[in-house]
Structure 1
Amino acid sequence: MNWRWHKFFLSAQTRILIWLGILIFLSVVISIFTIRQILSALLTERVQRSLEQEIEEVQRLIGGRNPSTGEPFGDDIASIFDVFLARSVPEDDEFFITLLNGEIYQTSPIALPDRLNERSSFLQSLAQVKHPQQGTKKIGWETIIYLAYPIETNGDGTSQGVFVVIQLLENKQREIDDAVLVAAKVIGLVMLVALGLAWVAIGRVLSPLKLLTETARSIHDVTQNLDQRIPIRGADEITELTMTFNQMLDRLQTSFATQREFINDASHEFQTPITVIRGHLDLLLVHLLDQTAPEMRDAVNLMHDELDRMSRLVDDLLLLAKAERPDFLSLELVDVDRLTQELHAKATALAPRNWQLASTVSIRIVADRQRITQAVMNLVQNAVEHTHPEDTIELGSKLTEDPTIKGICFWVRDTGIGIHPDDQVRIMQRFARATNTRRKSHGAGLGLAIVKAIAAAHGGRVSVSSKLGEGSQFNITIPLDPPQEATFR
């Protein structure tokens, strides 16, 4: 289940949707913040215009006549305030405050907030203004916008009034916040719906890629699955990728067909002339055994040896060519304990060495018995060629202790000359040899490459550990679970 969730979150469809969701979310957050700032700015501008309008009404009264007497107001500031407050009704959260000679004369509405009472230092400071003053102030936890307009009718300044109009922003700002919150909820819901639709749309766009992946994953048997092709729909980049993938499958199918034909032909055409030449050399050697000089017989024997070496080289190359084919392995149930003992018995017949059977494990695995035998015997032959008769060669099998692969380990350990650290990776390559060996190998440098190919065909691996002058150990690790593409006998 964890693997499925991990695959789900790492899929291209999910990652595209996550990035799309992040971009949409950031866009929504920035948009909502911007809208709130714009609405707040518009609110401030509207309140300022309302305050200025109230001041204009006061200014018109100052230059007008008292409706009660029909005479100009003159220096009767109290009458100006009385007429204005009688005629004007403040808006919600708006307050008219008239200050006369430093004291509150009247207010509309009569009840002021506690933070705007007559003992307020803010109002006391406004009572002393000499010029119109407008601004925004934070009183307690609330923000207000105010405009103070001084009125002086006596030249000596003995009678001074100040008209103050104040607008509280708390409720209006709360209305903006509520509207923004509702907008955020609606946008959030729309975003979720959009992401759901985007998930479906992304899935449809990426469906050819999923089909491409499934097709590539299904190609285990090159003799049966390479004829599959992905349907081509549309004319976008994914369609172009699909066409390219189908063309690649065409080339692979042709290449594998050519390879199979080459292997089948080579296995016959390469061996036939070698066999014919060897037969004629044997016949020539028999007829000229008593009539030919020793030098000629040595030359014939040398050609015979070279033909044998060429025959082994051809066999090894054909084996490596077949190693990548699904029919390379023929799986069966193998008793590891019995196989290890058989390998030890076969090894002791190769050369006089101090042969040791270190350990075996009583377990059965699904593997190709003949290929494992071939791989281990290649390691044994390699150990024989790099040791002396008095050296020890040890064979064994055990359960692996490596947590990355659960399986069986077959090993061959010797007390020979060892391998230089720089050569321990290189010797697994084809035609590679150790640089510190003084012995002549009869092979072509393909033995360890064959061992590696056999282990890889089983889904396993080959490792080596060695010290110069102390010997070497080669390990073949075969997993307990057989490869899916192999043929089960």
Structure 2
Amino acid sequence: MTARTTTPETTPTTTRTTGATTPAATTGEEATGRFRLSARLRILLWLLVVMAVALATVVLTTRSILLRDAEERVDQLLAQESSEFANFVEHGRDPGTGRPFTEPRGLLTVFLERQYPEPAEELLGYIRESPRPRVIRQPRDIASRLPLYQDGAALERISEDPASTGTLRRDTGVVRWAKVRIDYGPDRPAAVFIVASHDDPAGDSAENAVRILVVISGVALLMSCAVGWAVAGRILAPVRLVRATAAQLTEQDLTRRIPIRGRDDISALAETFNAMLDRLERAFAAQRDFVDDAGHELRTPITIVRGHLELMSVEEGPAAAAERRETLRLVTDELDRMSRIVEDLLLLATAERPDFVRAAPVQLAELTADVFVKARALGDRRWELPEVAEHEVAVDAQRVTQAVVQLAQNAVQHTGPGQTVRIGSRLVAGDVELYVADTGPGVAPRDAEVIFERFRRGTSRRGGERGGAGLGLSIVRAIARGHHGRVEHRPTPGGGATFVLVLPVQQSQHVQHVQRLQESE
């Protein structure tokens, strides 16, 4: 058999320009006919929502903490002033007499003169005298639109309230108050000391802090949107590049690849996409080679058949009968070869199906003996069975027999009558090996890498021997892979070639276990 180099036939391609857009231009909203948010915008919207919720939570929590602290501070202030006045009532002395106070007016006047309250704090005394109550206060301005000493009705409600502390809500604001009753006997008028804390008319400090925080949060949200837009664009740049590259790919051009930068998930996506493109490119190349090779192989017998049929149709006379018989023989032979090529192609096409191999437990010794008996009918050779492995394996006996017989057929084609061809099986390092060894010319080094490919033949065939289509070893490799194994070429000691079908025993035992489970069900 001679080596053949197949050059794919090229046909001129005419490109017709129309008004249609390119594939890359029709992958967006125009192709789908509906509005579609980009991933960059969706990321920005999610970031905006998350940031807004987070900042709102921070603002509300801060406001709650500040208001609580302010209330605690007012409570402490009221309690402190009340405690100081109660202590003054018990231990205070009239500066004029040096003796304890005997009436509320002097007590309240002396105490209030010695106090320095907060701007929004009001200290005063309320004495219920006739004909009208008396109010004793400090001579200073109160940070309130309506000080308590000007609101007689409010003072009356506070003085009559049985509680010692409370809250007074007015149109001008809220007043937190505390009071201490003064009792010098029934002959003295009833009096109370009142400490009041007004709302700050210029704005409560807590509310001011919250307003400032809201403004800062708004600025931070806008800055986050700008930064998020830029970062999302930078992160999604490889994704857009993947999309653009995919849109530019065609069946004729699968050479584009995505540059890989960094070591993140996006770079991993680019690596995966490039690996997918590598597989697609190899698959399309293999498909084109397969179509070219199959066309070349099938074209030859078709040409031969057509030529002989044309000769047979024009020849007449007595001598034409013998030539017609010879023509029919040649035509039949070529049609048989075409049929074998088609059957081999169909077999290779089904090799990718999950049911290509149907494993079942078989005895390896019986399988080897059956293959040996079938192979002896292939040619006048010195057939030998040097070793047989005694082991039960789970394989597809029909496929394995087909593979080994094909290897034996190759051995016959590369040897002459009387030459030795050995068939055997053995267990090696946990694998089952079925081998066919011949004493022919062997495989040339330049052919060792290509002989298992479709429509590829070696160069070391016996002269005059007609070769096949170059699918035999491809079928053997497909059967080996269907068993999760492999086929190997090894040189034969003393000259020749040895082809070994290696099947893993572990896989065979697993398949056998599954087969038994299926049978039990």
Q: TM-score, normalised by structure 1?
A: 0.52
**Distance in 1 between residues matched to 2:150 and 2:208, nearest whole Å:** 33
CA distance in 2, matches of 1:121, 1:91: 24
* Residue 220 of structure 2 corresponds to residue 186 of structure 1: no
Provide the rounded CA distance (Å) in 1 between the counterparts of 2:178 and 2:141.
Answer: 19
Q: 1:73 pairs with 91, 94, 101, which one?
A: 101
SS of the equivalent of 1:10 reads coil
Alpha-carbon contact 1:143-1:169 (below 8 Å) kept = yes
Question: Using a 3 Å threshold, how does the CA distance of structure 1 residues 205 and 24 change in structure 2: closer, same or farther?
Answer: same
The 8 Å contact of residues 148 and 164 in structure 1, kept in 2 or not, is answered as yes
CA deviations over 1:175-213 (Å, ceiling 9, x no partner): 333332223222322332233223222222222212222
Which structure 2 residues correspond to residues 435-450 of structure 1 after superposition, within 5 A? none
2:125 counterpart SS class: strand
Cα distance in structure 2, aligned partners of 1:54 and 1:275 = 120
Q: Which residue in 1 is equivalent to 2:291?
A: 263
Give the CA RMSD over aligned residues: 3.9
Residue 217 in 1 paired to residue 247 in 2?
yes
Q: Against the structure 1 CA distance between its residues 141 and 26, is the aligned structure 2 distance closer, same or farther, given a 3 Å change threshold?
A: farther
Q: 1:85 to 1:269 in 2, by over 3 A?
A: same
1:240 paired residue number: 268
Please tell me whether the aligned partners of residues 165 and 179 of structure 2 are also in contact (alpha carbons under 8 angstroms): yes
Percent of aligned pairs with the same amino acid: 33
Which digits, 9 at most, give the CA deviation of each residue in 1:280-330, with x for residues without a partner? 45655777999xxxxxxxxx9xx99xx9xx9xxx9xxxxxxxxxxxxxxxx
**Matches of 1:250 and 1:88 in 2, distance apart?**
89
SS of aligned partner of 2:160: coil
In the alignment, structure 1 residue 253 sits paired with structure 2 residue 284 = no
Residues 216-256 of structure 1: CA distance to partner in whole angstroms, max 9, x if unpaired?
12213x333x2222222222211211111111011011011
Counterpart of 2:184, as a letter, is: T
Larger deviation, residues 174-183 vs 139-148: 174-183
Q: Structure 2 CA distance, aligned partners of 1:180 and 1:129?
A: 34
TM alignment of 1:100-179, pairs within 5 A: 100-101=127-128, 103-109=133-139, 114=146, 116=148, 120-130=152-162, 133-154=164-185, 156=186, 159-171=189-201, 173-179=203-209
- The Cα shift of 1:16 comes to 1.0
d(CA) in 1 for partners of 2:168, 2:271: 69
1:378-408: per-residue Cα shift (whole Å, max 9, x none)? Answer: xxxxxxxxxxxxxxxxxxxxxxxxxxxxxxx
Contact 1:90/1:108 (<8 A) preserved = no
Residues 138/273 of structure 1: CA separation in 2 closer, same or farther (3 Å cut):
farther
Paired AA for residue 228 in structure 1: R
CA displacement, residues 60-82 of structure 1 (integer Å, 9 cap, x when unaligned): 221121112101113x1111111
Q: Deviation of residue 118 (structure 1)?
A: 5.8
Instruction: Report what 2:62 is aligned to.
Output: 35
Taking the aligned partners of 1:165 and 1:9, their CA distance within structure 2 comes to 65
Partner letter of residue 214 of structure 1?
A
Trace 1:313-352 onto structure 2 (pairs within 5 A): none
Structure of greater relative contact order (alpha carbons < 8 Å, 6+ residues apart): 2
Distance 1:120 1:284, change over 3 A: farther
> Retained in 1: the 8 A contact 2:93–2:100?
yes
Deviation of the 1:277 alpha carbon: 3.4
CA offsets 1:75-129 (integer angstroms, 9 cap, x no match)? x111111111211133212212311127242123577754745664432122224
Separation (CA, whole Å) in 2 of partners of 1:178 and 1:149: 33
Matched residue type, 1:31: V
C-alpha separation in 1, matches of 2:35 and 2:240? 13
User: CA distance change for structure 1 residues 118 and 203 in 2, over 3 Å: closer, same or farther?
Assistant: closer
Paired with 1:166 and 1:281, the residues of 2 have a C-alpha distance of 124
Residue of 33, 42, 45 corresponding to 1:15: 42
Which range moves more in the overlay, 43-52 or 280-289? 280-289
3-state SS of the aligned residue for 2:48? helix
In structure 2, give the amino acid aligned to 1:171.
P
- 1:53 and 2:80 matched: yes
Shift of 1:18: 1.6
AA aligned opposite 2:176: I
Q: Is the 8 A contact 2:59 2:214 kept in 1?
A: yes
Counterpart in the other structure of 2:501:
none
CA contact (8 A) 1:215 1:228 kept: yes
**CA shift in 2, pair 1:282/1:50, >3 Å:** same
- How many residues align? The count is 295
Once residues 85 and 9 of structure 1 are traced to their aligned partners in structure 2, the CA distance between those partners, rounded to angstroms, is: 73
Paired AA for residue 298 in structure 2: F
Runs of at least 5 residues in structure 1 that lack an aligned partner in the other structure: 291-299, 315-489
Three-state SS of the structure 1 residue aligned to 2:261 is coil
TM-score by length of 2: 0.49
Task: Give per-residue Cα distances to partners, 1:133-160, cap 9 Å, x unaligned.
Answer: 2122321151221112212221x48532
Change (3 A) 1:181 1:118: closer
> Contact between 2:245 and 2:256, CA under 8 Å: does it hold in 1?
yes
User: Partner residue of 1:347?
Assistant: none
